[in-house]
Amino acid sequence: MMFSNILPDDMPDGLSRSSGETILPDPVHEAWFLVDGEGRIVLSNKCAEKSFGLQKNALLVTLYPDLWQPVQAVIIGKTGHSVCSVRIGGRDYVLRVRAYRGGLSHRGALCSLEEKGRFEAIVEELFHFRRTTAELETIINSSHDGLWICDADAKVVRINPASERINGIKAEDVVGRSMKELVEEGFVNKSATLEVLRTGKVVHLLQETRTGRKLIVTGTPVFDDNGNIVRVVVTERDITEIEELHRELLEREALKNEYLEQILKLQLEEMMSHQIIARSPAMLKVLDQAVRAARVDSTVLLLGESGVGKGLIAELIHKYSHRAYAPFMKINCAALPDSLVESELFGYEAGAFTGARKSGKPGLLEVAHGGTVLLDEVGELSQETQAKLLHFLEDGRFTRVGGTKRRSVNVRIIAATNRPLDDLVRCGKFRQDLYYRLNVIPIRVPPLRERTEDILPLLDHYIRHFSRSMGAEKRLSPSVLRILVRYDYPGNVRELMNLCERLVAMSYGDVIGPEDLPEELGEMEKERRPSVDNPIDGAVEKGFREIIEEFEERIFKEMLSRYRTQQKIAEVLKINQSTVARKLKKYGLS
């Protein structure tokens, strides 16, 4: 009986039968051979024949006596298998022997020989492979993102713990099942795996689980050497929490904006109660723009006629900015000669000109470091100073007059003018590039004639202010109020303020009457008195009572906006509270 025909069916990996014959593994660098109980070679591969001369029917004990001893020990049953080192031809090899039993009388051994260094390298490579596999396993299991691996038939091969957590499932619930089934059963609403297998490309999609979680999913195909898809790797990231955080962020942003608006209103109220008198929509808009401009460091250009309060607006912007605790410096560009404007603004070095200090002098830009500089009447700057100012606005650096050293400062520039700069640009008197640098946040302060609602509050404020400062108790008579409310004030708030100071200082009694008005205002009043040929504002058409009622309504509107309570209004106007209530009801103000 041939030995090959009695080999057991449970042969090890690499050993098989084909057409009744035994086939050995045939690696290039490893010798495989089969011996019977007497040590005769029954079968050998090419490496065994070529490298070691282990031909069929040769006796192992004759060729390599040192090999026979461990092989014989396995054959006779001392051990089921053996691995040992042997030396052949001056080289060290690893001999591996495994016993075969083909019945009670037929015994043999399957042997392999491999050079020792190569064997150790393979063992090390195997250990490295196992370590790498373990590391990859740890990484996959530790990933916060979900991971699905499917085969070419869309069947789930494995999922990691993150996928179990995200989808609310167990691995055993889905492994081995088709993604098509899982979609049909509602585990997910769509499958990246099916899309990858359909298109053969990387797929990105939004997915929703049966538990309501929202996922960003990426499916990636894995190809073999022939370009066929063998695996699909799907990663998934739970964005449910991100969406919740985004919604919460939007809510907080809305709340922050609400708080900012409340702060803005409080700041406007503080301005109106302490520094600026504003009741008209036009002036309230200016204050709103000023507060918003205070939040940033952009250049501001204040436009408006002389006396409208541009300087006060500039001070408010500084006060409500983060620069409030640093200096606020002002220079009137029209009040000084060109040469002095440049030296005052940029400073000068010792000996820069006749009369200069020996130690030199820092300019307003240096003195105001960290703060704000107001350039009033900026339209009056010379072309040379305009160029130097432009360079400073571009990089925050400048050179003193008569110096060469470049200096850097951190200041905010606010410019003001009563001249139309765009017209000056067109006629070449003002640099266009400087105009654009200054005109980042333009704020136009309207003249008093465009905000007549502010005249009565301003009159009341300044009459009280100068009365207190002069130790007097003065008030305006109704006839004087009527005249002053209707006056145009070409000099704007500055003219009104000076007029109030004059009336308090020069009037004889406690009540300021028409006789106390300046001559030009008195003459204007005479011209405007009602007559058949020259009715005042349609007095003949309206009638005296209607005029009185209109004026009375304005007074009560102002009193109500200022004092809020009927008791206080009655006290100020020196009338009964019942009269106040009746008048408010009459004019629809209650």
Strand partners, 332: 376
pLDDT in tens, 43-78: 899 888 988 899 999 998 888 988 888 898 898 887
Q: Would you place residue 443 in the very low, low, confident or very high pLDDT band (cuts 50, 70, 90)?
A: very high
pLDDT at residue number 119: 61
Give the tens place of pLDDT for each residue, 536-582.
444 444 556 677 777 788 888 888 877 778 888 888 888 888 888 88
What does DSSP assign to residue 543? -
Average pLDDT of span 338-342: 82
For the chain, the maximum distance between any two Cα atoms, rounded to a whole number of angstroms, is 154
Q: Would residue 561 be called left, alpha or beta, if left means φ above 0 and alpha means ψ between -120 and 50 degrees?
A: alpha
Check for a shared fold between 3-117 and 133-238.
yes
pLDDT in tens, 251-284: 777 766 666 666 655 555 555 545 678 888 899 8
Q: What angle do CA 527, 530, 536 make, to 5 degrees?
A: 80
State what percent of residues in the chain have pLDDT above 90. Answer: 28
Output the CATH code of domain 276-446: 3.40.50.300
The answer as to CATH 3.30.450.20 being correct for domain 133-238 is: yes
Mode of pairing for the β-strands spanning 475-476 and 372-376: unpaired
Other beta carbons within 10 Å of 547: 16
Instruction: Tell me the per-residue pLDDT of 454-469, one tens digit each, with 9 for 90 and over.
Output: 999 899 989 999 999 9
Residue 135 has pLDDT above 60, yes or no: yes
CATH architecture of 451-586: Orthogonal Bundle (1.10)
Please give the mean pLDDT across all residues of the chain.
82
Distance CA 38, CA 402 (A): 115
pLDDT bin (cut points 50, 70, 90) of residue 33 is very high
Instruction: Say what the pLDDT of residue 539 is.
Output: 46
- CATH classification number, 3-117, choose in 1.10.287.110, 3.40.50.2000, 3.30.450.20, 3.50.30.60: 3.30.450.20
What residues does each domain of the chain span? 3-117, 133-238, 249-274, 276-446, 451-586
pTM: 0.49
What contacts 24+ positions apart, CB below 8 Å, involve 343-351?
343/401, 345/373, 345/375, 345/385, 345/389, 346/388, 346/392, 346/398, 346/399, 346/400, 346/401, 347/400, 347/401, 348/400, 348/401, 348/402, 348/403, 349/400, 349/401, 349/402, 349/403, 350/402, 351/402
